[in-house]
A and B are shown apart, each in its own frame.
Chain A
């Protein structure tokens, strides 16, 4: 027992009187029981939203991106806003599983699996937008540096848009293998207790024949650690490169050097908010309150509060630097952002992202489930508006006042966005019924050090 010592001041991460077998039972339960009515209702709504999105995407591809609300001045609007929003949300998963692994934070184990799932599902949504907005998505292979029939027509490696292609595809695939490798022992657990032959077959297939040999575990742990070491700079690089899409341009309001750190902080901020939204519901529905405890929620709230404050600092720095630069175009871009016709979007961004997370300074609020849920939604809305503000307000009043205009989305713009939200929830709901949603093999390793019953036993 002495090797499992943990300071008594640390609160237990696994509540209740749990044994190893109880953990197995609790994690396998949602997979082995049929879904209830609420799940079907949620799935039905998500599916309907997804189908609407599919319809709008088909219409866009069939007719052209003229179906969107874009105009001569505002040539980039909801598509890139949604893209950046979804990529940002996709940042929490790898942060939780990789960065917190390097920092040896045990509380990541209750939530890492779902956060990684959310990462992969949201990066899929993000990836849709650049593909759709090409107008001719069947020419997507033009993105890749492959020898071609057009003479020496190569892709342009000086372009931040191409950097994006490499960053997003590396991020998606590396996150996917990281997630899947961690899933193997948990799939094997379900395989070995499955009674239905079909279920057994499926889980045998996807568990890749995991047997849990001592050597496998030794390699598994090393691979997890090295992957975490690789994924940590990767996750920081992805949103850095997304911010380069703007920062390397010459548009006032985009051309700022603060963009990379500011985008990364914002991405972690919105990602954690989305994890919070999803897990608060899931812990209740799948009865996982013993593994995703109020302490987990509190920890995530602290991360939300800190990254929210970093984002707030960045907003204010931007305003200061615009004034300090002495460049009148830069000054006007920011004045227009805050007080121009899009003041309401700026106001929403400021109040949702900077003001709302500050209530987390109060312990009562950051340990309240209702408050955490409400604020996580508010933050997600705020972060969408942040991207909208950056993109649209910097474009809609350009150097030529005669071309100043406003942007209004068409129902196609809205439909595609709603569709990606639907697609995301379809994937997440399917995941919640068929995947082990808590990394049970990892939780078992901390049971003796951080389990409530073991902690009590030690205190005696």
Chain B
């Protein structure tokens, strides 16, 4: 890997999107893009894999569903069956109508919370985590591409200027590591 990279700043999402398509076409690797809001189509343009978050959430929901049924079966049917208002308490299947609300709530509870926890861990979001956006204005109105320099730095620079970049900084990564 080259020790240098470019920080290219844009001030419009449409210009950024076109630029990303061009950069990908010219086979220069994009390390990361920082944007102040979700730019639709950006993940496809930079060929990001689709996220599996919803599949994970479905599994979490199934876990919640199972836990709820097992918990209520143990408590109300196995451990200490009681006659409450004449509701059938000898088998799970007979008593299940009055367990439906809590089965539903626990399914949602598990799915929602475990999904958000997964998101926070995978995207490295937690209290006291230091922000990693290289330029503070990328949470305001600017868009930043962190990319490789390509074989010829000045040629890449001219291309980026043409694509509408408002500033290009060459970053020396070796110095950062020291």
Contacts and interface: CB of A to CB of B under 8 A. Distances in A.
B37 A191 contact: no
Contact of B140 (A20, A209, A214): A20
Contacts of A213: 32-34, 123, 132
B108 interface: yes
Contact of B53 (A208, A219, A442): A219
Interface in B85-106: 85, 87, 95, 98-99, 101-102, 104-106
Contact of B112 (A184, A222, A230): A230
A441 B130 contact: no
A3 B72 CA distance: 51
Interface string B107-137: 0110111011001101111111111110011
Given A157-B98, A166-B102, A189 B131 contact: no
Interface string B130-148: 1111001111110000000
B99 to A, nearest CB: 6
A222 B51 CA distance: 8
Interface stretch (B38-46, B151-159, B160-168): B38-46
Given A20-B36, A193-B140, A214-B46, A230 B131 contact: no
B1 interface: no
Contact of B101 (A3, A167, A204, A225): A167
B140 A157 contact: no
A10 interface: no
Interface in B1-45: 13-14, 32-43
B36 to A, nearest CB: 6
Given A210-B131, A226-B57, A192 B108 contact: no
Interface stretch (A173-181, A317-325, A399-407): A173-181
Q: Give the residue among A21, A193, A226, A448 with the most B Cβ atoms within 10 A.
A: A226
Contact of B126 (A152, A170, A208, A441): A208
Interface stretch (A120-128, A233-241, A263-271): A233-241
29 contacts: A3-B41, A19-B141, A20-B140, A21-B141, A153-B80, A154-B76, A157-B72, A166-B102, A173-B113, A192-B133, A192-B136, A192-B138, A192-B139, A209-B125, A209-B128, A209-B131, A211-B132, A213-B132, A217-B39, A218-B50, A219-B51, A220-B38, A220-B119, A220-B123, A222-B53, A441-B36, A442-B37, A444-B141, A448-B14
Interface of B: 13-14, 32-43, 46, 48, 50-51, 53-54, 57, 61, 71-72, 75-76, 79-80, 82, 84-85, 87, 95, 98-99, 101-102, 104-106, 108-109, 111-113, 115-116, 119-120, 122-133, 136-141
Given A20-B141, A220-B119, A223-B53, 16 more contacts: A3-B40, A20-B36, A157-B72, A192-B136, A193-B140, A206-B127, A210-B131, A211-B131, A212-B138, A217-B37, A217-B43, A221-B38, A223-B119, A241-B105, A441-B36, A448-B13
